[in-house]
């Protein structure tokens, strides 16, 4: 009886705002640590980032990302356990995956990306040089969706939902996802993307849906950067202002209607959650 009371008390404590900052610090700290170690090893091996080819740079960044995110995710899971976090982290069920819902989410992601472009254009471009080629593609389309979704839509969203409910989990995990990207343009972009990915994860009850959408979004961004010589904004790729204005207006309508539908669905989830709590009491 006493052990159960201790576990329940721990569950109520985790996660606090301090826990979110601690988990963020663990992941960012792992990136700094692995970055320093890899730079030392690369120095001994004669690797020079300034003179490296795009493929070599991509391989370097892929190894850095894979090592740092592996260490960061392990560190977060250990921290969660030490702080009393319990229960299932993610669901890999495919029972509620809906192709139409996923297709709608892809369109929504593109529309939101277009709508927020004017804001992104005002922010400093501090994106790291990720190189190009198969290594960069693997990092963006395979490793990043898996690790970031496990962390943000898995550990963070799941922990926040258990304590604060669906709305706080949806918003908090999106903000965490954004801040994780550090560079101003990426932070803002990731926050909006995180709202859509978080909703899809909640709606399907599966991490696979958000991993898939994350991969599609990153693949599209990589394709745009490749075509646009490093630029990922649509306005830099479309030559005609008239065509861009038409695309922007259409994207604005799609984004507004989709955002309203998404918020309505989130509110229904919250009401259903409240009803379950009341029934349990």
- Report the alpha-carbon distance of residue 60 to residue 245 in Å, rounded: 39
**pLDDT of amino acid 101:** 94
- Decide if 79 contacts 154 (C-beta within 8 A): no
The Cα diameter of the chain in Å comes to: 70
Q: Are 49 and 35 in contact (CB under 8 A)?
A: no
Residues 6+ apart with CB under 8 A from 230: none
Q: What are the start-end ranges of the H helices in 123-240? A: 134-138, 144-149, 157-164, 166-179, 184-204, 207-227, 234-237
pLDDT of residue 2: 44
Residue 7 has a pLDDT of 46
- Count how many residues are written for the chain: 281
Which tokens is 181 given?
């990207």
Secondary structure (H, E, C), 214-278: HHHHHHHHHHHHHHCCCCCCHHHHCCCHHHHHHHHHHHHHHHHHHHHHHHHHHHHHHHHHHHHHH
Q: How many CB atoms lie within 10 A of CB 250?
A: 12
HSE at residue 150, side-chain half, CA atoms within 13 A, is 15
Q: Are 252 and 117 in contact (CB under 8 A)?
A: no
Question: 181 by DSSP, 3-state: which?
Answer: coil
pLDDT below 50 — which residues of the chain?
1-3, 5-11
Question: Burial, 171: exposed, middle or buried (Cβ in 10 Å; 0-12, 13-18, 19+)?
Answer: middle
Q: What is the pLDDT of residues 212-270, one digit of tens each?
A: 999 999 998 888 777 755 556 677 777 778 888 999 999 999 999 999 999 999 999 99
3-state secondary structure (DSSP) of residue 116: coil
**Measured between alpha carbons, how far is 61 from 57 in angstroms, rounded to an integer?**
6
Segment holding 2, helix H or strand E: helix 2-13
Residue boundaries of the structural domains of the chain? 2-83+97-280
What is residue 229's predicted lDDT score, i.e. its pLDDT?
Answer: 53
pLDDT of residue 231: 59
What are the phi and psi torsion angles at 132 (to 5°)? -155, 175
SS3 72: helix
- Residue-wise pLDDT tens digits, 250-264: 999 999 999 999 999
Query: How much is the CA Rg of the chain, to the nearest whole Å?
Result: 20
Q: Under a CB-based contact definition with an 8 Å cutoff, are residues 229 and 219 in contact?
A: no
Q: Which residues in 13-25 are b (16+ Cβ under 10 Å) and which e? A: ebbeeebbebbbe
């Amino acid at each position: 009886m006493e052990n159960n009371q201790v576990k329940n008390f721990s569950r109520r404590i985790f996660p606090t705002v301090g826990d979110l900052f601690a988990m963020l610090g663990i992941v960012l700290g792992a990136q700094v640590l692995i970055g320093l170690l890899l730079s030392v090893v690369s120095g001994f091996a004669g690797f020079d980032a300034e003179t490296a080819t795009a493929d070599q740079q991509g391989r370097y960044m892929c190894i850095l990302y894979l090592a740092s995110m592996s260490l960061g995710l392990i560190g977060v899971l250990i921290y969660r356990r030490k702080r009393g976090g319990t229960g299932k982290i993610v669901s890999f069920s495919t029972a509620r995956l809906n192709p139409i819902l996923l297709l709608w989410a892809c369109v929504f992601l593109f529309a939101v990306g277009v709508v927020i472009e004017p804001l992104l254009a005002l922010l400093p471009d501090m994106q790291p040089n990720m190189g190009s080629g198969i290594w960069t593609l693997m990092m963006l389309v395979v490793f990043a969706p898996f690790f970031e979704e496990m962390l943000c839509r898995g550990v963070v969203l799941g922990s926040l939902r258990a304590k604060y409910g669906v709305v706080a989990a949806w918003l908090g995990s999106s903000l965490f996802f954004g801040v994780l990207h550090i560079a101003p343009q990426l932070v803002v972009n990731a926050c909006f993307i995180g709202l859509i990915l978080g909703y899809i994860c909640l709606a399907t009850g599966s991490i696979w849906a958000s991993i898939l959408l994350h991969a599609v979004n990153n693949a599209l961004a990589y394709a745009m950067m490749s075509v646009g010589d490093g630029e990922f904004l649509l306005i830099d790729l479309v030559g005609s202002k008239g065509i861009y204005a038409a695309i922007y207006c259409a994207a604005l309508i799609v984004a507004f209607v989709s955002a309203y539908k998404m918020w309505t669905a989130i509110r229904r989830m919250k009401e259903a959650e409240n009803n379950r709590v009341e029934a349990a009491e």
